[in-house]
Amino acid sequence: MPNPVLLNNIDHATMRVIATRGAAYGDSVMSALTWPDEFRTLQAHYPIVFQKNAEGGFDALALFGFQQGENLFLDGERWDAPEVPLSVQRQPFLIGTDGEALMVHVDLDSPRLSREHGEPLFLPQGGSSDYLEHMNSILRAIHLGLQGARSFTSALLEHNLLESFVLDITLDDGSDNRLAGFYTINEERLAALEGDALARLHRAGQLQAIYMVLASLSQFRALIDRKNRQHAAKR
C-alpha cells in the first residue's frame, strides 16, 4: 500500500527519484490506468480495455501483459515502447486536493526514492527542480484526463456500448492462456446508434476516443508475439 505524504522542500530537501525503469522500481505491472486524452498515442502500442472499479464504474487500462505482475514491455532497465503511459511515468507521486487546489504527494514507501541517486526534486535554495516541474505537469494532465474519463465511460454505459470478453491464447509452445475480467466496445451496438446519438458523441470528442479503443485491439497480436518471444527466450 502507498504511504503518501505532502511533498515539501523542508522535509524532502535532499530527496531524489530514480527515473530508471525496471522491475525493482515497481514496473512489473500488467496494466496502467489511461483516459481518452491518451488513447491516440497509446493505441499504437498497447491494447486498451476497460475494467470495473471499486466504485462500480469502469476504468480504461493500457495492457502490458496477460497476468498479474507481467509486463512484456519491460526489458531489464528499458521500456520497449516509445510511449509510456503517464500513470506509469508519475511514480512515485500522487495527486491530492485542498479544495480546488492540487497538492503533490509522494509515496514514502516507493523504491524509487533515494538520497544519493536519481533526479533531485528541489534546488539548493529550495525551488523546484526541472524534474519536479515536469512531474507537476504530468500530474495536472492526469487530473484533467481522469475528469474527462468519467464522462466518457458514462457515455459508453448510457449507450450500452461495453461488453465483457474472454481471450483464449495458445502460445507457440502449446501452452494455453486466458485473459478474462475485462470489457471492450461492442461494435454492433456502436454501428446501430442513430444519428443524434453519434452526433452527441462526436461533439463531446468521445466518438474519436471510441475508435481509438477499437484500433488498439490490433495490438493484441503484437502482445501475443511478445509473450511467445519471452517464452522462447526462457527455454
Residue 43 C-alpha from the chain's centroid:
12
Instruction: Say if residue 40's pLDDT is above 80.
Output: yes
Range in 2-6, 64-68, 180-184 the model is least confident about: 2-6
Quote the pLDDT of residue 235.
66
Percent of the chain residues past pLDDT 70, beyond the cut: 100
Report residue 101's pLDDT band, with 50, 70 and 90 as the boundaries. Answer: confident
Is the entire prediction scored with pTM above 0.85?
yes
Residue 157 C-alpha from the chain's centroid:
21
Radius of gyration of the chain (CA): 20
Q: Is there a domain that residue 201 lies in?
A: yes
| Mean pLDDT of the 160-180 span | 92
Instruction: Say if residue 2's pLDDT is above 90.
Output: no
Q: Is there a domain that residue 38 lies in?
A: yes
Q: Is there a domain that residue 169 lies in?
A: yes
Report residue 12's pLDDT band, with 50, 70 and 90 as the boundaries. Answer: very high
Rounding to the nearest 10 degrees, give the CA dihedral for residues 55, 90, 218, 52: -10
Give the integer Cα–Cα distance in Å for 137 and 202: 28
Domain count of the fold of the chain: 1
Instruction: Say if residue 234's pLDDT is above 90.
Output: no
Give the integer Cα–Cα distance in Å for 55 and 177: 29
Q: Is there a domain that residue 164 lies in?
A: yes
Quote the pLDDT of residue 56.
87
Instruction: Say if residue 97's pLDDT is above 80.
Output: no
Q: Is there a domain that residue 112 lies in?
A: yes
Residues 6+ apart with CB under 8 A from 215: 43
DSSP state of 14: T
Q: Roughly what angle, to the nearest 10 degrees, separates helices 206-216 and 195-203? A: 90
Mean pLDDT of the chain: 94
| Mean pLDDT of the 6-17 span | 95
Q: Is there a domain that residue 234 lies in?
A: no
Give the integer Cα–Cα distance in Å for 200 and 84: 31
Q: Is there a domain that residue 235 lies in?
A: no
Residues 6+ apart with CB under 8 A from 213: 39, 43, 48, 60, 184, 185
Range in 23-27, 163-167, 230-234 the model is least confident about: 230-234
| Mean pLDDT of the 78-100 span | 92
| Mean pLDDT of the 206-233 span | 94
Q: Is there a domain that residue 54 lies in?
A: yes
Task: Outline where 10-121 has alpha helix (H).
Answer: 36-42, 86-89
Quote the pLDDT of residue 162.
97
Report residue 144's pLDDT band, with 50, 70 and 90 as the boundaries. Answer: very high
Instruction: Give the residue numbers spanning the domain of 214.
Output: 4-229
